[in-house]
Structure 1
Amino acid sequence: MASSVERTVTPLQYALDLFVENAPAGTAIDAISSDKDIGYQKNNVFARIIGLGLSARRFVDAAYFIVAQEREISEAYDVSLSFFKWLMRYDSHNKKHFSSVIRSVKSSMLEVTSAPTVSVDSKGRMTDISRDVSDGDEDAVDVEDVDQDVEAGEVPVNDEDGDWLELIGRVSVRNGRIRFRVPVELQRLIKDPESSYWTSLLTTSKFKLIYARAIYDHVLPAVPGGMTEWLSLELIRNLPGKSWANNAEFKYFKRDYLEPAVRQINDLSDIEMSYETRAGTPGSRKKDQIRFRLKRKEASAAAQADMMESAALYLTLHKEFGLDAKQFLQIRENRHVWTDARIEQAIDYTRFRIAKGDVIRRASSYLMKALAEDYRVATADRDVELRRSQRESQEEGKKTRQVAVAESVAAADAAADQQRQDEKGAARKFFDAAEKKARDELVRKFVAASTIGQRAITRQGLKPAEVNGTNIMRWPSVADTFTSFVAGELRKAAREASRRG
Structure 2
Amino acid sequence: MASDNPEEGKSKATSRQMALALFEDMFDLGLRINEANREIGYQRNDFFTEIVNMGLPARRFLDAAYFIVAQETELRDQYDVELNYFKWLMRYDSRNLKHLRTIADEAQNAKVRVTNTPMDRDPNENDLWVQVQLIGMVGFHRGRMRFDVHPRLVPHIRDPQKSHWLSLRISTAFTRSLARAIYDKVLPHVPAGRTDWIQLDEMRNWPGRMGANAAIFKYFKRDWLEPAVREINEVSDIELSYETRTASTSSKKIDRIRFLLKRKDTADAVLASLADASHLYKVLTDEFTLSTKQFSEISENRDVWTDERIQQAVEYTRFRIKRGQVKKSPAGYLMRALRDNWKMSEAERTMVDVQAKLLADEAQEQAAKSAARSSVARSVASREEEVRARMNEDSRKGRDHFNAADAKTRKELLHAWMTSREGKLMLRRMKLEPSTVTEDVILANTELVWYLGQFVFGRMNSSRVSV
| TM-score interval (norm. to shorter) | 0.5 to 0.7
The structure-2 alpha-carbon separation of the partners of 1:286 and 1:323, relative to structure 1 and needing over 3 Å to count, comes to closer
Given the alignment of the two structures, is residue 55 of structure 1 paired with residue 89 of structure 2, yes or no?
Answer: no
**Separation (CA, whole Å) in 2 of partners of 1:297 and 1:377:** 29
1:22 alignment partner in structure 2: 26
**Separation (CA, whole Å) in 1 of partners of 2:33 and 2:237:** 16
Deviation at 1:372? 4.4
1:238 alignment partner in structure 2: 205
Does the CA-based 8 Å contact 1:82-1:176 persist in structure 2? yes
Does the CA-based 8 Å contact 2:111-2:131 persist in structure 1? yes
The amino acid across from 1:101 in the alignment is: I
2:176 alignment partner in structure 1: 209
The amino acid across from 1:19 in the alignment is: F
Find the partner of 2:280 among 327, 334, 349: 327
Give unpaired runs (5+ residues) of structure 2.
1-6, 299-304, 323-341, 352-467
**Separation (CA, whole Å) in 2 of partners of 1:7 and 1:332:** 13
1:166 alignment partner in structure 2: 133
The alignment partner of 1:84 has SS state of helix
The alignment partner of 1:298 has SS state of coil
Find the partner of 1:64 among 66, 73, 80: 66
Deviation at 1:188? 1.0
Q: Normalising by the residue count of structure 1, what TM-score does the alignment of the two structures yield?
A: 0.56
**Separation (CA, whole Å) in 1 of partners of 2:139 and 2:247:** 47
1:251 alignment partner in structure 2: 218
The structure-2 alpha-carbon separation of the partners of 1:336 and 1:224, relative to structure 1 and needing over 3 Å to count, comes to closer
**Separation (CA, whole Å) in 1 of partners of 2:56 and 2:346:** 60
Give unpaired runs (5+ residues) of structure 1.
115-155, 306-314, 345-350, 352-361, 386-501
Deviation at 1:32? 1.8
The structure-2 alpha-carbon separation of the partners of 1:231 and 1:75, relative to structure 1 and needing over 3 Å to count, comes to same
The structure-2 alpha-carbon separation of the partners of 1:88 and 1:364, relative to structure 1 and needing over 3 Å to count, comes to same
Deviation at 1:242? 2.0
The amino acid across from 1:215 in the alignment is: I
**Separation (CA, whole Å) in 2 of partners of 1:50 and 1:202:** 22
Find the partner of 1:229 among 191, 196, 200: 196
**Separation (CA, whole Å) in 1 of partners of 2:283 and 2:48:** 21
**Separation (CA, whole Å) in 2 of partners of 1:28 and 1:56:** 18
The structure-2 alpha-carbon separation of the partners of 1:336 and 1:42, relative to structure 1 and needing over 3 Å to count, comes to closer
The alignment partner of 2:20 has SS state of helix
**Separation (CA, whole Å) in 2 of partners of 1:367 and 1:45:** 32
The structure-2 alpha-carbon separation of the partners of 1:379 and 1:264, relative to structure 1 and needing over 3 Å to count, comes to closer
Does the CA-based 8 Å contact 1:270-1:300 persist in structure 2? no
**Separation (CA, whole Å) in 2 of partners of 1:167 and 1:222:** 23
1:270 alignment partner in structure 2: 237
Runs of 4+ in 1 over 6 A off after TM superposition: 337-341, 362-367
The alignment partner of 1:185 has SS state of coil
The structure-2 alpha-carbon separation of the partners of 1:246 and 1:367, relative to structure 1 and needing over 3 Å to count, comes to farther
1:106 alignment partner in structure 2: 108
TM-superposition CA deviations, 1:435-487 (whole Å, max 9, x none): xxxxxxxxxxxxxxxxxxxxxxxxxxxxxxxxxxxxxxxxxxxxxxxxxxxxx
2:91 alignment partner in structure 1: 89
The alignment partner of 2:215 has SS state of coil
**Separation (CA, whole Å) in 2 of partners of 1:246 and 1:74:** 46
Given the alignment of the two structures, is residue 294 of structure 1 paired with residue 247 of structure 2, yes or no?
Answer: no
Alignment of 1:38-437 (within 5 A): 38-113=40-115, 159-160=122-123, 161=127, 162-244=129-211, 247-281=214-248, 283-300=250-267, 302-304=269-271, 324-336=277-289, 371-373=317-319, 374=321, 381=347
- Counting matched residue pairs gives 308
Greater mean deviation of Cα atoms: 276-285 or 181-190: 276-285
TM-superposition CA deviations, 1:376-422 (whole Å, max 9, x none): 8679948x99xxxxxxxxxxxxxxxxxxxxxxxxxxxxxxxxxxxxx
The structure-2 alpha-carbon separation of the partners of 1:192 and 1:32, relative to structure 1 and needing over 3 Å to count, comes to same
The amino acid across from 1:271 in the alignment is: I
TM-superposition CA deviations, 1:260-306 (whole Å, max 9, x none): 0000000110000000100135753311110000000011465436x
Q: Normalising by the residue count of structure 2, what TM-score does the alignment of the two structures yield?
A: 0.59
| Percentage of identical aligned residues | 42
